[in-house]
């Protein structure tokens, strides 16, 4: 009988280091013609106004088309569906967040020990999610697309890279899913809005989870 594989075996093909990537369709915006780029900007401005006035849950493709004074088909051609439209609205903050954890100052960016970077990453993502919670919830993709969103892949790969550095013998792929699950906007909504937990408690819980996963002494 052959030996069972180690439960902490790494994936056969290691994940590449993450690169800066927008949340929507990669390579889309830079290739637009000037008039198409203006139309896209006008649609996003209309969508942003609707979010500010009525909340993300009330934003539909039809409402955006009406606000921008274009046909509904134009909105669908530009963004594909409602999720694509809402994720495009999140693109700017996602670019800033990625720049911060990929190349910004430590401890979120390079230069700090991996455990400190993991703690900083989770805290920054929790704060961002609380600030944009309604929009993130509305943009949450279906189950078959949830883990294929480019921004989520970048975040996951970043966490996995830090875990490989902080805990070389662990299954960084599976543990990264565990850590990212803590940062899911649906869970954050439940804990903060339905359970009334303060953000500070979630941040402390994140630090504790990172310490336990990586096997280091608590930082507090």
- For residue 70 the two structure tokens come to 């274009």
Residues in the chain: 220
Whole-angstrom Cα distance, residue 67 to residue 90?
Answer: 19
pLDDT score for 32: 55
User: What is the pLDDT tens value at each position of the chain, 220 positions in all?
Assistant: 444 333 333 443 444 444 444 444 434 454 557 777 888 888 988 888 888 888 888 889 999 999 998 889 989 999 898 888 988 888 888 999 999 999 999 999 999 999 999 999 999 999 999 999 989 998 888 888 888 888 999 999 999 999 999 999 999 999 999 999 999 999 999 999 999 999 999 999 999 999 999 998 765 5
Read off the pTM: 0.75
Q: What is the pLDDT of residue 24?
A: 46
One of 3.30.530, 1.25.40, 3.90.1520, 1.10.357 is the CATH number of 81-214, namely 1.10.357
Report the C-alpha gap between 60 and 50 in whole angstroms.
Answer: 9
Are the CB atoms for 86 and 59 separated by under 8 Å? yes
What does the pLDDT read at residue 219? 53
Domain borders along the chain are 29-80, 81-214
Distance CA 129, CA 111 (A): 25
Query: What is the structure's pLDDT at 141?
Result: 83
- The CATH code of domain 29-80 reads 1.10.10.60
Decide if 203 contacts 123 (C-beta within 8 A).
Answer: yes
Other beta carbons less than 10 A from residue 148's beta carbon = 9
What tokens appear for 19 in the block?
A: 């690169």
20 φ, ψ (degrees, to nearest 5): -60, 130
């Amino acid at each position: 009988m052959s030996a069972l594989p180690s439960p902490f075996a790494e994936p056969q093909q290691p994940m590449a280091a993450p690169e800066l990537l927008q949340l929507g369709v990669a390579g889309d915006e830079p290739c637009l013609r000037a008039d198409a780029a203006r139309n896209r900007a006008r649609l996003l401005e209309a969508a942003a106004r609707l979010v500010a006035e009525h909340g993300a849950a009330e934003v539909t493709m039809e409402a955006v088309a009406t606000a921008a004074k274009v046909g509904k088909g134009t909105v669908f051609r530009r963004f594909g569906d409602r999720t694509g439209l809402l994720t495009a609205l999140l693109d700017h903050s996602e670019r800033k967040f990625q720049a911060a954890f990929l190349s910004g100052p430590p401890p979120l960016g390079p230069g700090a020990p991996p455990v400190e970077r993991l703690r900083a990453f989770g805290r920054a993502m929790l704060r961002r999610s609380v600030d944009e919670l309604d929009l993130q919830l509305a943009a949450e993709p279906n189950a078959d697309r949830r883990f294929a969103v480019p921004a989520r892949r970048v975040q996951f790969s970043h966490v996995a890279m830090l875990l490989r550095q902080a805990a070389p013998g662990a299954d960084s792929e599976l543990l990264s899913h565990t850590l990212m699950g803590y940062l899911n906007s649906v869970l954050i909504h439940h804990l903060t809005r339905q359970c009334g937990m303060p953000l500070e408690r979630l941040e402390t819980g994140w630090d504790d989870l990172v310490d336990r996963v990586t096997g280091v002494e608590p930082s507090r």
